[in-house]
A and B are shown apart, each in its own frame.
Chain A
Amino acid sequence: MTRHSEKDKIKRDNALAKIVFKQQHKHDLDNKVSIFDRVFKPETITLDNGHSVDRPRSRVPLIMLCLLAVIYISIKATGFDLRVIIERANQLTVILGQILTPNWKFIPAKVIEPLLDTIKMSIVGTIIGCGLGLPIAVIASSNINKNRPSLLIVRLFLAITRSIPTLIYALIFALIFSLGAFAGTIAIALFTLGIVAKMLYESIETIDMGPYEAMQSYGATTFESFWVACMPQILPIYIDNCLYCLELNVRSSSILGYVGAGGLGLLISERTGLRFYHDVGAILITLFIVVWAIDIFSDYVRSKLI
């Protein structure tokens, strides 16, 4: 009985100390005044009971002013002109009208084979990217990898791979590996690696580390404890990210052909070059159906995961 009450007392004391500390801290925080509030003094409202309250000035006018300046500079730099769009809007319907009346006969004749190429390219690219993404994400997560330099190097590498668009990868790899689906696959794999690893290490850092530490205390190696304690936690997120990337890659691989990386994009660029926009409409419809099917498939898998 006595032990219990002693514990309770310690608990209560600790809680009290925390509250006091927070209040002192809060006072410190309140004393910090941002530059904005120093320039534009807060409005002081005196209440009926004699207390006064500071009401900070609205930041909206300042933000609006900055935004307007940015828009003005942007309009100057790009030569944006709304009048041109209104005057020449009828030109917009020329190509759109042709795309909206697709040439259905074109689909069985020529679309199926490059479509399969595109799907193959994005599937293999996604599998390679996601497969490499898992170990790299583990190295890049600060709660598993305690070695700071290797962590920073891997993160820098990921940041760089993510920031270069897939199209530019494809352009450079098409020059290195000669034109074709191989260059496109490598480009997709590299880009996927960047995205998957980033999303994954962010979620690895939020997992419950209790089981992992328990495994370590039993004497398990880092790999064993990660595999047993962390994998079950991140596996659903990992699969979800992979499916998201597959969807993204099928969409983007349709464009990769523009720079000669094979698949549907090659066909699209050929047909737009010849100005056969009815054919382009047919290609887009098949692409749309494929993306839609992948969407349904990944929704199904996700519903099974949760």
Chain B
Amino acid sequence: MKDNKNNIELTANENILEKLYSEPNNLWLRLLIVFVIIIVAAWGSTSLSFSGITEKGMNVAKSVFHGIIYPDTELLFNFTKDGVPFLVLQTIAIAVLGTINGAILAIPISFLASTNIVPKPVAYIFRALILFVRCIPSLLWALIWIRVTGPGAFCGVATQSICSIGMISKMYITAIENLDTGILESLDAAGCNTFEKIRVGILPQLLASFISTAIYRFDINLKDATTLGIVGAGGIGSPMMQSISSAKYNRVGSFLWVLILLVLVIEWISTKIRARLARGRS
């Protein structure tokens, strides 16, 4: 009995050793990869000329830090159109409208770009269109829209409506191409008409992922809405840029705090909603 047990242990050890020795020895490959990364990093840092922090730079750094610790509280509780509360509302409004417009515009485009709905040539034409939209940076879209809408929050909404289409339709297409079409056949067999087939067979499959995508994009749009202010597209961005360039760092501090809080709260809410959409109502 005891002998038998020892034997089993011995074979087990041999198996382990055999496994260990049969592991491929990747040392050279790993060294090569590390070497390549170092070479690339060295090549990349050739253009970085670090000239040291000038005294002016140090002062700026100090005053930014000071501004973050002592933000301009008057600005935070100013309920006119220049105050932070209205700007936050406007930023959220830009992101909301931009996301909703983008999510609605993306629906027909992504159906027309799905290879299981339309013939392949048509799908590729619409994919090229999506690629084109994604290719132009959002700031440039803002410049293009300013000619139509004039500067202000309206321009931000128009810009985000277009910019959102790229990413949203990419996710929509994945959802549409994963559609289970077996259900449609069984509904056919049950004698449903086209409307009923869409209502019972397609909508429940797509709705959750569509809404989840839109909420995820809302997250991104909210962050983008703050940067669009640079070219004058409204929101909290433009007064922030102005106070940075006119060296009013206390104002910058209060804008930064509000921005951080806003983004974190929205991110937390959107994660909660998306988790619930993924798991269903518990």
Contact = CB atoms under 8 A, between A and B. Distances in A.
Interface of A: 70-71, 73-75, 77-81, 84-85, 88-89, 91-92, 94-96, 99, 116-117, 119-121, 123-124, 127, 159-160, 162-165, 167-168, 171-172, 175-178, 180-182, 185, 251, 254-255, 258-259, 268, 272, 280, 284, 287-288
A36 to B, nearest CB: 11
Nearest to A81: B154
B41 interface: yes
Given A117-B47, A176-B53, A85 B93 contact: no
Given A85-B148, A91-B147, A178-B54, A75 B48 contact: no
Interface string B43-71: 11111111101100110110010000000
A120 B57 contact: no
B8 interface: no
Interface stretch (B11-19, B178-186, B255-263): B255-263
A177 B57 contact: yes
Contact of B147 (A92, A99, A127, A165): A92
* Most A CB within 10 A of own CB, among B47, B92, B148, B263: B47
* Most A CB within 10 A of own CB, among B86, B223, B224: B223
A-B CB proximity, top 10 nearest = A74-B93, A163-B263, A78-B153, A77-B93, A120-B44, A124-B44, A167-B227, A91-B147, A123-B44, A176-B57
Contacts of A181: 47-49
B63 to A, nearest CB: 10
Contacts of A258: 139, 230
A124 B41 contact: yes
Given A95-B143, A259-B230, A88 B41 contact: no
A181 B53 CA distance: 14
Contact of B64 (A80, A172, A251): A172
Contact of B226 (A117, A165, A255): A165
Contacts of B158: 85
Contacts of A176: 53, 57-58, 60-61, 64
Interface in B143-179: 143-145, 147-149, 152-154, 156-158
Describe B's contact surface by its main secondary structure: helix
A301 to B, nearest CB: 10
B202 interface: no
Contacts of A178: 51, 54, 57
B244 interface: yes
* Most A CB within 10 A of own CB, among B90, B145, B147: B147
A286 to B, nearest CB: 11
Contacts of A251: 137
Given A120-B44, A165-B224, 10 more contacts: A74-B92, A75-B97, A78-B94, A78-B156, A79-B153, A85-B158, A164-B259, A164-B260, A254-B137, A259-B230
A182 B50 contact: yes
B125 interface: no
Contacts, number: 155
B144 A95 contact: yes
Contacts of A268: 137, 140
Given A71-B96, A96-B144, A124-B44, A78 B241 contact: no
* Most A CB within 10 A of own CB, among B154, B156, B241: B154
Contact of B259 (A96, A163, A272): A163
B148 A175 contact: no
A36 B256 CA distance: 37
A118 to B, nearest CB: 10
A48 B148 CA distance: 63
Nearest to B257: A160
B149 A85 contact: yes
B190 interface: no
9 contacts: A75-B97, A78-B152, A79-B153, A88-B149, A91-B147, A163-B264, A168-B227, A182-B51, A287-B135
A88 B155 CA distance: 13
Nearest to B138: A255
A135 B126 CA distance: 43
A233 to B, nearest CB: 16
Contacts of A121: 44, 47-48
Given A163-B259, A164-B260, A79 B57 contact: no
B133 to A, nearest CB: 11
A3 to B, nearest CB: 16
Contact of B135 (A171, A259, A284): A284
A303 B224 CA distance: 32
* Most A CB within 10 A of own CB, among B100, B135, B241: B135
* Most B CB within 10 A of own CB, among A77, A88, A123: A77
B93 A175 contact: no
Given A92-B144, A120-B43, A175-B244, A77 B230 contact: no
